[in-house]
Amino acid sequence: MTELRDTANFEDGDAFYAALVEAIDRQDDDGAVALLARLVLILANQIGDRAVLHAALDLAVTSEPRRPVATNPETTPSVRRS
């Protein structure tokens, strides 16, 4: 596998989606984010391929819905150029 698939590859997409929602809804917000984070890490290792992983990340970043720009103090960079 060297290219990111853009067509459905699920054996049963509806069942996976339902199971994912059910798992998330058993958590509070932080717990749900943590669960998604673990899932991303597990799946990323399963994929392994560097190009596919970066293509997937790019797709996720560029698919972000448009929204007003807000400054989140928690994401203020802690680095400065010297």
Partner 1 sequence: MTGQRARFGYTPRAHTIDDPPEQRRVVVVGAGLVGLTLAIDLRRQGVPVLLLERSDTVSVGSRSICQAKRTLEIWDRLGVGEAIRTKGITWRIGRVFHGGGEVFSFDLLPESGHKMPAFVNLQQYHVETVLHARFAEFGGEVRFLNTLSAIEPRDDGALLTIDTPEGPYRIDAEWVVSCEGSRSTIRSALGLGFVGETFEDKFLIADVKMRRAEFPTERWFWFNPQFHDGQTSLLHRQADDVWRIDLQLGWDADIEAEKHPDRVRQRIETMLGHGDFDFEWLSIYVFQCRTLERYVHGRVIFAGDSAHQVSPFGARGGNGGVQDADNLGWKLRRVLDGSAPPGLLESYNEERLFAARENILNSKRATDFMTPKSKTSRLLRDQVLTLAVHHPFARALVNSGRLSLPAHLGGSRLNTPDDAVWQTGRMGPGSPAADAPIRRGAADGFFLDVLGDRFVALTTDPDAPPSIMVGSHRVDVVVLGRDVTDPTGLLSERYDLQPGSMILFRPDQHLALRRRQTDVAALRAGVDRALGREIPA
Q: Which residues bind partner 1 (CB under 8 A)?
A: 30, 33-34, 37-38, 41-42, 45, 72, 74-82
State which amino acid sits at residue 59: L
Contact between 36 and 24 under an 8 Å Cβ cutoff? The reply is yes
- For residues 50 and 81, which CB has a smaller minimum distance to partner 1 in the complex? 81
Min CB(58)–partner 1 separation in Å:
18
The vertex-63 CA angle with 61 and 68, nearest 5°, equals 85
Give the number of other Cβ atoms within 10 Å of residue 36's Cβ. Answer: 14
Output 13 or 58, the one with its CB closest to partner 1. 58
CB of residue 61 to partner 1, shortest distance in Å: 14
Which residue number, 33 or 59, has a Cβ lying nearer to partner 1?
Answer: 33
Least distance in angstroms from the C-beta of 6 to partner 1: 26
Distance separating alpha carbons of residues 23 and 35, to the nearest angstrom: 8
